[in-house]
Each structure stands twice: as structure tokens, then as C-alpha cells.
């Protein structure tokens, strides 16, 4: 069994922190006004997907 490298673990940790941040922002918006949580969460996910596609050339 091979274990992931330190670089792989660093990328996974960074992604986990990013997902936690998006969830926290969406939940905070939901606490103020429930439909806003879905709108903000969707916009943050859409922004992340668009930035990823732009940086990776769509691959």
C-alpha cells in the first residue's frame, strides 16, 4: 500500500479548508435569510468551477 505524498496531502488540506469556507459563508447567509443561503452557495460553487476551468484550460 502506498501512502500519499506530502504535496498531495497539502492539496487535499487546502481543498478541505476551501470547502469549509464556502459552507460557512452559505450557512451564514442562510441564517439571515434562508433562500440567500442557496443563492450564495450556488454562486460560490459556480465561481470556483469557472476559475478552475479558466486556470486549467478546461481540462
18, 47 in Cβ contact below 8 A?
no
User: Would you state the pLDDT for residue 4?
Assistant: 84
More confident residue, 9 or 58: 9
> What pLDDT digit, counting tens, does each position of 7-40 carry?
889 989 998 999 999 999 999 999 999 999 999 9
Cα(18)–Cα(20) distance, rounded to whole angstroms? 5
Confidence band, pLDDT 50/70/90 cuts, at residue 52: confident
User: Would you state the pLDDT for residue 30?
Assistant: 95
Confidence band, pLDDT 50/70/90 cuts, at residue 1: confident
Amino acid at each position: 500500500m502506498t501512502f500519499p505524498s506530502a504535496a498531495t496531502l497539502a492539496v487535499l488540506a487546502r481543498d478541505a479548508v476551501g470547502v469549509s469556507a464556502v459552507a460557512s459563508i452559505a450557512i451564514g447567509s442562510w441564517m439571515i435569510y434562508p433562500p440567500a443561503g442557496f443563492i450564495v452557495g450556488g454562486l460560490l460553487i459556480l465561481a470556483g468551477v469557472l476559475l478552475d476551468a479558466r486556470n486549467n484550460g478546461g481540462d
